[in-house]
Amino acid sequence: MSSWSAEPSADAPVPGPRPKPALALLVPALAGCVVSLGVGVYGHVHHPTGVAVNLAGFSGPLAAKAWLTTAAAVLGVVQAVSASVMYGKLAFLGTPAWISGLHRWSGRLAFVAAVPVAMQCLYALGYQDYSTRVLVHSLLGCAFFGVFTAKMLVLTRRDAPSWAVPLLGGLVFAVLIAIWFTSSYWFFSNFGIKK
């Protein structure tokens, strides 16, 4: 005798709210825009204080900033490589158990290295446009925090499309490397590779 059952069969689609990928990205995208704009507006309206703090072991504040940014960029490379391993894009390396730990910690350390530099930029120098390099650097600095915010928010959204995290992670990495070129690279090529 056949029976009617309210139980869905194993291969029936699970009922529930349909994922809305656009909506899952909307809040992180808006939050990222607000953060970038907020940083830019603050940098523009705030009167630059010119305050600079040196770190022990460096010849001056500029050198300290250039090296901290370089540390963040190198950790950013570790992030990009470890993410590629996690997504199986470097199959010859396999997927070691420690790779996600390496990814998390390199990200945290990159942030710790970059944030004091960015705070000094914002508070002491502000948003400036007196040369193309400085304009591009200021814009990238603002973009960095917006894209970073969006990536962190998308990480917590289970309904986000699978391409969103790699796309935003790649953007954070690209912006960080571009910031390195418009600041540390400029510093090292003008003043030499000194501490």
- Contact residues toward ligand HEM (CB under 6 A) are 39, 43, 62, 65-66, 69, 114, 117-118, 121-122, 125, 127-128, 134, 137-138, 141-142, 144, 179, 183-184, 186-187
If the CB atoms of residues 99 and 124 are measured against ligand HEM, the closer one turns out to be 124
Residue nearest to ligand HEM (CB): 141
Give the closest residue to 86 by CA, choosing from 112, 107, 61, 66.
107
For the bound state, the minimum distance from the C-beta of residue 147 to ligand HEM, rounded and expressed in Å, comes to 11
The CA dihedral of 152, 158, 159, 164, to the nearest 10 degrees, is 40
Token pair 């400029």 is found at 186
For the bound state, the minimum distance from the C-beta of residue 192 to ligand HEM, rounded and expressed in Å, comes to 14
The structure tokens listed for 108 are 């945290």
What is the rounded distance in angstroms from the CA atom of residue 186 to the CA atom of residue 134?
A: 10
Query: 35, 145 in Cβ contact below 8 A?
Result: yes
The structure tokens listed for 19 are 């994922």
If the CB atoms of residues 164 and 175 are measured against ligand HEM, the closer one turns out to be 175
If the CB atoms of residues 2 and 189 are measured against ligand HEM, the closer one turns out to be 189
If the CB atoms of residues 125 and 150 are measured against ligand HEM, the closer one turns out to be 125
